[in-house]
Structure 1
Amino acid sequence: MPVLSDKLFFWLFQGSPDRILSLLDGLPADAAGYTFSAPVLKQREYRLDGLFLPPANRPYLPALILEAQMGPDPVFLRRLYAETARLLQQEPEITNWRVVVISPSRQLNFGPTEPVAEFLERRVSWVELQPECWSQGAADQSGATIPLFQRLLGLLLQPEEQIKASSSQLRQQAVGTAAEAELDDVIAAILVSAFQAAQSLRFAPWAESPSKTSPKARSTRRSWASALPKAKPAVRPEAKPAVKPVAKQKKLPSSPSACWRAAAAP
């Protein structure tokens, strides 16, 4: 299934950089205040999926270099090593750093590990999204508890018939946590990325241009919209009659969850 991972992860982390911290071990419990960017590496004009810089007053925290790789690529590991080295050459102030790879599984064909074995062992943290890694007691192969945000990202790999049930389960688990308020938008952004719903409407700055949508695709989106709670009807004051009626411009949805409902509308 094609996934627009670059735009998805940029949106997920642009407004909440500290989301990345829940996916990582070995950082202080109070690590926070990271800033996020997606710098372009010079010469090849290659844009990283993300760069998280710690607060200026906490230089002992590592910079985090993000790469999302959702499919096999036999030269990925070599490219990851090379682009990391290019970033460090370009940004000499970065001395303490880690690489974070978000992927369905590290067992995909990413190429031979021997040439970059030390780099992988000492510098790379894997965030694996395979559903079987977290659906059994929400624990990975090592027995560690999978963070809620990582299980949310696992929706990218869920088959169509499981999306609604999985979303409801995750929403129940988020009740009473800091993630509850933003959960609907996160789920909607993931669904938009996974099923390319942005093709039918000019949703928002992070979405694609609109194009024609087949009845089957719109029907599918209506089924995924049921994974989100129904939006409360807006209370609109009675408008005073205008002297000269003017055609209303179509208002863009204000959030990913609103975008998804708009895409699912008949």
Structure 2
Amino acid sequence: MKTDSIFYQLFAEFPSIFFELIGYSANHAQGYQFRSVEIKQTAFRIDGVFLPTANNPDQTVYFCEVQFQKDELLYHRVFAELFFYIDQNPDIYDWYVVIIYPKRSLEPNNTRLHQILLDSPQVQRVYLNEIEPTSQTLGIDIIKLVVEPEETAPNRARELITKTRQEIPDRLSSQAIIDLIETIIVYKFPQLSRQEIEDMLKLNALKQTRVYQEALNEGREEGREEGKLAAVPLLLKAGISVEDIAQQLDINIEAVRKIAQQQT
């Protein structure tokens, strides 16, 4: 599974999850923007960097490395990237490194050369399989889905989709999280088609309901843009995503989003 791209998408869309993962409040993310950074004149690219926004310059820069394979030279690379970055950006306020592993056994065996840095309060290693269940939020639950065994992942994903719909009242935000959950499952089961994934997660179950079919038919029968838009609130109430509504009714997605925002 392409874990780097999954985590990049997750932290880019929901930076609060990163800060929850390392023990901060989700609100801590408000002063940051997440980026992948390439260091000039080297072959280094840092997985992810949380940079303070322009109006919050005196904040710590967070460096994130996601490692799902054994690599004995990992710490050589991570700390080289860190200090190259500091050399090229000497005005940063402070730094903090987070290394995310699925399990402790994937750490390099020989850490003697970097032990003083690993013991620093500015370096944190996170092992996803050791996160206490009692401390989990929706964001942490989604991260743990990445390392969920294949035999239990579909059921866990369905639970998270239900939890998302219950905890996130804003439809656009809720759908973005559900899309991310679906993406994780797509990566875990690359042999399945998108339709098979939707069936597995029961994402298309609502499309078979009477309320969906009636609203969809009403919009199509009207034919005009106004008639189709009139069917949008009912479809939203049925839990259909903005993207699906726009596609099924063949109308502009921004118009559907506008109606969705008015209902929240």
Structure 1, unpaired ranges of 5+: 140-144, 197-216, 241-253, 259-266
Match of 1:163 in 2: 153
AA in 2 matched with 1:38: S
Change (3 A) 1:225 1:155: farther
Change (3 A) 1:14 1:113: same
Give TM-score scaled by structure 2 length. Answer: 0.67
**Equivalence map 1:124-203=2 (5 Å):** 124-130=123-129, 133-134=130-131, 138-139=133-134, 145-174=135-164, 175-177=166-168, 180-196=174-190
Instruction: Tell me, in whole angstroms, the C-alpha distance in 2 between the residues paired with 1:124 and 1:43.
Output: 25
AA in 1 matched with 2:201: A
Asked whether 1:91 is paired with 2:89, we answer yes
Superposed CA RMSD in Å reads 3.2
| Distance apart, 1:23 and its partner CA | 1.2
Change (3 A) 1:114 1:224: farther
| Distance apart, 1:177 and its partner CA | 4.4
AA in 2 matched with 1:105: K
Report SS of the residue matched to 1:32.
helix
| Distance apart, 1:56 and its partner CA | 3.2
Deviations 1:189-233 (A, max 9, x none): 22233334xxxxxxxxxxxxxxxxxxxx23797267422532646
Change (3 A) 1:225 1:94: farther
Bigger RCO of structures 1 and 2 (CA < 8 A, at least 6 apart) = 1
Percent identity between matched residues is 27
Match of 1:218 in 2: 192
Asked whether 1:229 is paired with 2:206, we answer no
Change (3 A) 1:160 1:219: farther
AA in 2 matched with 1:226: M
Higher helix share: 2
| Distance apart, 1:150 and its partner CA | 2.4
Instruction: Tell me, in whole angstroms, the C-alpha distance in 2 between the residues paired with 1:183 and 1:31.
Output: 17
Q: Is the 8 A contact 2:19 2:26 kept in 1?
A: no
Structure of larger gyration radius: 2
Instruction: Tell me, in whole angstroms, the C-alpha distance in 2 between the residues paired with 1:86 and 1:171.
Output: 41
Give TM-score scaled by structure 1 length. Answer: 0.67
Structure 2, unpaired ranges of 5+: 225-242, 248-264
The number of residues matched between the two structures is: 213
AA in 1 matched with 2:106: L
**Equivalence map 1:55-66=2 (5 Å):** 55-66=53-64
| Distance apart, 1:74 and its partner CA | 1.1
